[in-house]
Structure 1
Amino acid sequence: MSYWAEFLTIATYHLLAVASPGPDFAVVTRYSLSYGRKVGAYVSLGIAAGIILHVTYSLVGVAIIIKQTQWLYAAILTAGALYLAYMGVGALQSKPKPAPNTHEYDPQRPSERRAFMTGFITNGLNVKATLFFLTLFTVVISPETPFTWQMGYAVYLIIATGIWFLFLSRVLSSERVFKRVWRYMHWVDRLMGLLLIGLAVHLLVDVLSELKIIA
C-alpha cells in the first residue's frame, strides 16, 4: 500500500480544516489583532499543543469510546460550548483603543502563559477538531497502516497546525494590517465574540440533539 498517497489525503483534509473559520481561527484573529504578534504566536503554539491531545486519544482509540458514550460526548460538547461562550462574552466587552500602541504596554495584554493556555484550551475543547480526528483515524487511515506511519501523520498534523496559525498571526499582526484596523479593533473583537457565541449556540444545539431533547 502507498502510505504517501494516504499522507497526501490527510494533508489535504487538514489544510481545509485549519483554513476554515472556527474557534481556533477566531481566537488567533482576535488575539493577534488586539495584542500583537507575540501574543498571537503563543496562542498559535497553544493550539498546536492542543492537537497533541486529539492525536493521542485517536491513536489509542479513545475517540471512538467518546463518540459511542452519549453522556460523555454531550459533556465534552457542553464544556466546549461554555468555554467558547465565555470567550465570546469577553470579546463583546472590548472597548475602543484611544491611540495606536506597540501592544507591549497594553494593561489588558495577556501574559505569554495565559495566551498559550487560551490556545491550548480552545483547541482541546474544539469539538470540530475532535470530529475531524475521529474521522481521520477511523475512516481515512487504513487499519493496516503501521503505527510508525500513524505517528508520523500525528507529528505532521501538530507541526502543520502550528505553522499555519503562526503564519496567520504574523500576517494579522503586521504593521500594515495593524495601521489599517487599529481604530476598529474593538469592532473586530466584538465580531469575533459574536462568532464564538454563535459557535457555542451551535454546539449546545448539537448537545440537545445528541440527548434527543430536540428533534
Structure 2
Amino acid sequence: MIIEFLPELTTVAVIAIFMAISPGADFVMIMRNSIFYDRRTGLFSALGVSFAIWLHVAYSIAGLALIISSSVLLFSLIKYCGAAYLIYMGYKSFKANTNLDLGHSRGNISALSAFKIGFITNALNPKTTVFFLSIFTQVVEPGTPLLIQLLFGAIISLAHLLWFSGVALFLTQPRLLLAFKRSKNIIEKMVGVVLVAFGIKIAVQAN
C-alpha cells in the first residue's frame, strides 16, 4: 500500500523539507531560545514545534481543514492569535535583561516552558496552517488511507524536528556563543524587532 502512494509521500517530504528550512517565526524562536537560554531549551522548543505539527495533522484528518479554508472568521482568528503571540514574545525579547550570559540557562525557563513556546509558535503560525490546508485539500484524496495520512504527518513532523534540532545544536557551539556574547545587547534587540515584525506582517496580510 505504501508503494502505491510513494509519489505523494515523496512530494510531501520534499515540500516539508523546504517548509522547515524556510525562514520564519519558528526559526527565529528556536534561535532566540537557543542562544539566549541554552542548548537544552532550544532542543525542547524544537520538540514543541514538531509536536505542534500533529495538531495540524489532527484537524486536517478530521476534515476541519475544509472548514478553516472556507471560514474567513476562523482563519482570521488563528492568524491574529499567532500575530499577537509573536508580538508579545518579541516585546519580551526586546525588553529582556541583557546582563545575563548567552548560552546559559537564565533559571526562569523550564523544559516544559521551552516546549510550550515551540508548540504555540507553530500551532498559531498561519504559514503552517496554509501549508496543511494545501496538503490535505490537494495531495490527500477522499480515498487516501488513514495510515498514509499519518505518514504524511510523521514526515512533516520529523523534518521539522531534525531541522530545528540541528539549528539549536549549531547555534549553541561554544565558538558561536562567544561571538554572540560580544554583541548580545544588539542581537537580543534585533530578535525582538524581527519577532514583532513577523507578528505585524501576519496581522496585516490578506487572508
Q: TM-score, normalised by structure 1?
A: 0.88
Q: Write the distance in 2 (CA, Å) between the matches of 1:135 and 1:88.
A: 29
Q: CA deviation at 1:101?
A: 6.4
Q: Write the distance in 2 (CA, Å) between the matches of 1:135 and 1:61.
A: 13
Which ranges of structure 2 fall in alignment gaps of 5 or more residues?
none
Partner of 1:184: 183
**SS where residue 183 of structure 2 aligns?**
helix
Partner of 1:166: 165
Partner of 2:90: 88
Partner of 1:12: 14
Q: CA deviation at 1:87?
A: 0.5
Q: Write the distance in 2 (CA, Å) between the matches of 1:92 and 1:16.
A: 29
Q: Write the distance in 2 (CA, Å) between the matches of 1:19 and 1:159.
A: 13
Q: Write the distance in 1 (CA, Å) between the matches of 2:177 and 2:111.
A: 20
Q: Write the distance in 1 (CA, Å) between the matches of 2:88 and 2:147.
A: 39
Alignment RMSD (CA, Å): 1.8
Partner of 2:151: 152
Partner of 1:28: 30
Partner of 2:118: 119
The structure-2 alpha-carbon separation of the partners of 1:187 and 1:147, relative to structure 1 and needing over 3 Å to count, comes to same
**SS where residue 104 of structure 2 aligns?**
coil
Give CA deviations for 1:144-185 in whole Å, capped at 9, x if unaligned. 432211111112222221121111101111112112211223
Paired residues, what number? 205
Give CA deviations for 1:12-33 in whole Å, capped at 9, x if unaligned. 1111111111111010001101
Q: Write the distance in 1 (CA, Å) between the matches of 2:4 and 2:73.
A: 39
Q: Write the distance in 1 (CA, Å) between the matches of 2:201 and 2:98.
A: 29
1:140 aligns with 2:142: no
Q: CA deviation at 1:196?
A: 1.3
Partner of 2:49: 47
Give CA deviations for 1:40-72 in whole Å, capped at 9, x if unaligned. 111111111111110100111102201211212
Partner of 1:213: none
Which ranges of structure 1 fall in alignment gaps of 5 or more residues?
211-215
The structure-2 alpha-carbon separation of the partners of 1:146 and 1:194, relative to structure 1 and needing over 3 Å to count, comes to same
- Share of identical aligned residues, percent? 32
Whether the 8 Å CA contact 1:33–1:178 is kept in 2: the answer is yes
The structure-2 alpha-carbon separation of the partners of 1:143 and 1:186, relative to structure 1 and needing over 3 Å to count, comes to farther
**SS where residue 110 of structure 1 aligns?**
coil
Q: Write the distance in 1 (CA, Å) between the matches of 2:25 and 2:181.
A: 22
Partner of 1:103: 104
Q: CA deviation at 1:4?
A: 1.2
